[in-house]
Chains A and B, each alone.
Chain A
Amino acid sequence: MISTVAGLTWRNLRKVSRTPQIVFSSLVQPIVFLVLFSEVFRSIERTAGFPQGTSYIDYLVPAILITSIGTSSVQSGVGIAVDLNTGIIDRFRSMPIRSEAVLVARSLSDLVRSASQSFLLVLVATAFLGFRFHSTFLGVLGVFLVVWFFGWALSWLYIAVGTMTRDVETTQMAGFIITFPLMFASTAFVPSSGMPGWLQAFTAVNPLSQAIDASRALALGWPAAAQVLQALIAIATLTLVGMALAVIGFRRSRS
């Protein structure tokens, strides 16, 4: 199983390396968000609800890391839908291997791709926008781990969507419909304290908010234990649900 997953992951990454523009083009949106929002919302720094003494870019970057990995994980669903529309999955299925390895490999290769994107984002934000971590090395590592695990969890969810729809456009549409409300009805850009009550209630249970709160607390050197625990619970839940649905969808796609 491990060598099968390794082989299939290599295949996916090889495809990415053939078209490196994919990695960079999916960096465009988060960079635009970073530049725009850091200017547009900067005045928020001086409002009452905003944490004192924190610069907006330092507040924003951990959130953008989460939202951008959320957006790029849709590609996992697209990738599996593309494969299901060619004969290659049939070949894997007719071979003496565990064909579910295809799903695992998809989630892992996309993790490698989006992890490298989050590195690049931090580099850009540090070099050009004055972003700084305010924590220890462990805190920084923690930020990346939360971001990556969150992306991996969402990959499984979108793989499930991809195996069930078996259609690239529907999968992309589903990604859009899921990502955007979660992104804006979250603590990504502004603290929830200024929101109406019903929205606050939503952001509190929004897994995107939970992941953002954890990575932000870790990046800014705030007390983070509670946020990290909550984020891990959300990540674990999403991963398990996504995996189960992905395997069911994959088995159903046989006929």
Chain B
Amino acid sequence: MNDQAASVEVLTRRFGATTALHEVDLAVDAGTIVALIGPNGAGKTTLVRILSTLLKPSSGRASVAGFDVVSEAAEVRRRIGLTGQYVAIDQDLTGRENLVLFGRLLGLPRREARSRAVELMSEFELTDAAQRPVHSYSGGMRRRLDLAASLIARPEILFLDEPTEGLDPASRIVLWQQIARFARQGTMVFLTTHYLEEADELADRIVLIDRGRITAEGTAEELKRRVGGRAVAVTLSGPEERARAQRALEAAGFKESPATDPNLLYVPVDDSAEIINLMERLGASGARVTDLRIDAPTLDDVFLAMIGRASSEEEAGGDGVPPGAPVEFAGRGRQR
């Protein structure tokens, strides 16, 4: 039972007429980093808030570290740390005062609360700012302090709701390193994000959620494999050359995907043997190749394939457009 960090059974949560989570089932093993990804409004935060005992399910069950989040909430709270979407520290206190306060609230004796604060400040590279009020901190520093505050009691399970939201790329990478470090030290991390890059970088397991339902789960590799194989993108020196290459490949049984660039030939392939075969045919055709690239699917592709159009429309207006989903992603969407 304790191998399971969190388990969720037919969990439903409604807010008035809207259903934020619809009969969700999920089991998460201990000792991993799990990323819950999905567009805005998919139910990520609701799930995290239920698992961290802040919200009660409308129906169904959820347990964390073997304890029920409703009937044994106190036991759950003893074992978790939570860093929510909004920075949950006191802006008027200094960084150190915040950590001492939370340590005291968690029942640490004064001296221990102080030494733990010092330890965490140095671990999160905040020692120089320890005596400054938090409102003078940068966004990245606040996030780090927030994370440090969640780790005071050395939780078994750490919930991070969009931990790097609004951070610049450098601060994001620093935070990733820290998250990966305490996962190595044995804390199970359950994070939500709509940065696919973040999930790809950090997570051992990825759970996709869309409109209150879990649509896929697995490792990043498994999910990518599920969306489909790779593709070879061949750029030729001109339209005639392209036609020549296209004929040769078609004769060998390859089928191109439509592309917007008149010099580009875009051919999906199933495995490496096919790639080698394609290269040989291409070479034999004598067509003049100016560029050649093998595309592997990204999590962006997974995201789009599994979550589909409806949510990408929602995203278009919102702030949830995955920053890793730029030009290339749009291009591939068309080429397929």
Query: A19 CA to B91 CA in the complex, in Å?
Result: 13
Mask for B18-47, Cβ within 8 A of A = 1, else 0? 000000000000000000000000000000
Q: Are B84 and A4 in contact (CB under 8 A)?
A: no
Chain B: interface residue total (CB-CB under 8 A): 31
B150 to A, closest residue via Cβ: A91
Q: Please name all residues of chain B whose beta carbon is closer than 8 Å to the beta carbon of A92 when the two chains form the complex.
A: 105
Which single residue of chain A is at the shortest CB-CB distance from B86? A87
The docked-state distance in angstroms from the alpha carbon of A90 to that of B93 is: 18
Are B15 and A95 neighbours in the complex by a CB distance under 8 Å?
Answer: no
When each residue 76-97 of chain A gets 1 if its CB lies under 8 Å from chain B and 0 otherwise, what string results? 0000000000111011111111
Q: B81 contacts which chain A residues (CB < 8 A)?
A: 94
Q: Smallest CB-CB separation from B82: which chain A residue?
A: A94
List the A side residues contacting B55 at CB < 8 Å.
Answer: 254-255
A92 to B90, CA, bound (A): 12
Q: Mark A1-17, 1 if CB is under 8 A from B, else 0.
A: 00110011011001100
Contacts of B90 in A (CB 8 A): 11, 15, 88
Binary contact readout B54-94 vs A (1 if CB under 8 angstroms, 0 otherwise) = 11000000000000000000100110111011111111110
> Are B88 and A90 interface neighbours, CB within 8 A?
yes
**Which of the residues B86, B93, B105 comes within 8 Å of A95, measured between beta carbons?**
B105
Chain A interface residue count, CB cutoff 8 Å, equals 23
Residues A188-203 near B (CB distance < 8 A): none
Cα–Cα, bound, A138→B213 (Å): 67
Residues of A within 8 A of B87 (CB): 86-87
B52 contacts the other chain (CB 8 A):
yes
Residue interface bits A25-57, CB-to-B below 8 A is 1, else 0: 000000000000000000000000000000000
Are B105 and A88 closer than 8 Å at their CB atoms? no
Q: Is the CB of A94 within 8 A of B92?
A: no
What is the bound-complex CA distance between A8 and B93, given in angstroms? 12
**Interchain CB contact (< 8 A) of A14 among B54, B91, B97, B104:** B97
With an 8 A cutoff between CB atoms, is B53 at the interface? Answer: yes
B86 touches A93 (CB 8 A): no
A91-B82 contact in complex given A96-B77, A255-B15, C-beta closer than 8 Å: yes
Is A252 in the interface zone, CB < 8 Å from B?
no
Residues of B within 8 A of A3 (CB): 104, 107
Q: Please indicate the chain A residues that have their CB under 8 angstroms from the CB of B80 in the complex.
A: 94
B106 at the interface (CB under 8 A from A): yes
Would you give the shortest CB distance from B90 to chain A, in whole angstroms?
Answer: 6
Whether B160 sits at the interface, judged by CB under 8 Å, is no
In chain B, what residue has the closest Cβ to A90? Answer: B84
Q: How far is the CA of A225 from the CA of B97 in the complex (A)?
A: 46
Q: How far is the CA of A11 from the CA of B150 in the complex (A)?
A: 18
Residue in contact with A94 in the complex, picked from B53, B101, B104, CB distance below 8 Å: B53
Q: Is B102 an interface residue (CB 8 A)?
A: yes
**Known interface pairs A11-B101, A95-B105, A255-B15. Does A87 touch B54 (Cβ–Cβ under 8 Å)?**
no
Q: B106 touching A96 by the CB < 8 A rule?
A: yes
Inter-chain contact A90/B105, CB cutoff 8 Å: no
Kindly provide the distance from the CB of A167 to the nearest chain B CB, expressed in whole angstroms: 16
Q: Which has the most chain A C-beta neighbours within 10 Å: B15, B53, B77, B88?
A: B88
**A87 engages B88 (CB within 8 Å):** yes
Shortest distance in angstroms between B30's beta carbon and chain A's nearest beta carbon? 19
Contact status of A91 and B88, CB under 8 A, knowing A3-B104, A18-B133, A97-B105 = yes
Output the least CB separation between A99 and chain B (Å): 10
Given contacts A3-B104, A11-B101, A14-B97, contact A94 B52 (CB under 8 A): yes
Least CB distance, B55 to chain A, in whole angstroms: 6
List residues of chain A with CB within 8 A of the CB of B77.
94-96
Residues of A within 8 A of B15 (CB): 255
Question: Would you call B93 and A91 a contact (CB within 8 A)?
Answer: no
Give, as a whole number of angstroms, the nearest-CB distance from A46 to chain B: 50
- Is the C-beta of B149 less than 8 angstroms from some C-beta in chain A? yes
Give the complex CA separation of A225 and B228 in angstroms. 86
Give residues 122-145 of A contacting B (CB, 8 Å).
none
Flag if A96 contacts B101 (CB, 8 Å).
Answer: no
Query: Chain A's nearest CB lies how many Å from the CB of B86?
Result: 4
CB distance from B328 to the nearest CB of A (A): 35
Q: Report Cα–Cα, A19/B149, bound state, in Å.
A: 24
In the complex, residue of chain A having the shortest beta-carbon distance to the beta carbon of B81: A94
Contact (Cβ within 8 A) A254 B101:
no
A86 contact from B88, B97, B150, Cβ within 8 A: B88
List CB contacts (< 8 Å) of B123-166 with chain A.
Answer: 133, 149-150
Which residue, of B81, B84, B88, B105, has the highest number of chain A Cβ atoms within 10 A? B105
Of B52, B74, B104, the contact of A96 (CB 8 Å cutoff): B74
Contacts of B89 in A (CB 8 A): 88, 91
Q: Are A7 and B104 in contact (CB under 8 A)?
A: yes
CB distance from A19 to the nearest CB of B (A): 7
CB distance from A11 to the nearest CB of B (A): 5
Closest CB pairs A-B (n = 8): A87-B88, A87-B86, A91-B88, A94-B82, A96-B77, A15-B92, A7-B104, A87-B84
A-B pairs with beta carbons under 8 Å apart, 11 shown: A10-B101, A86-B87, A90-B86, A91-B150, A94-B52, A94-B82, A95-B105, A96-B74, A96-B77, A97-B106, A254-B54
Query: Which A residues contact B (CB, under 8 angstroms)?
Result: 3-4, 7-8, 10-11, 14-15, 18-19, 86-88, 90-97, 254-255
A-B contact sample (14 more), CB < 8 A, given A86-B88, A94-B53, A96-B77: A7-B101, A7-B104, A8-B105, A18-B93, A18-B133, A90-B88, A91-B88, A91-B150, A92-B105, A93-B54, A94-B52, A96-B74, A255-B15, A255-B55
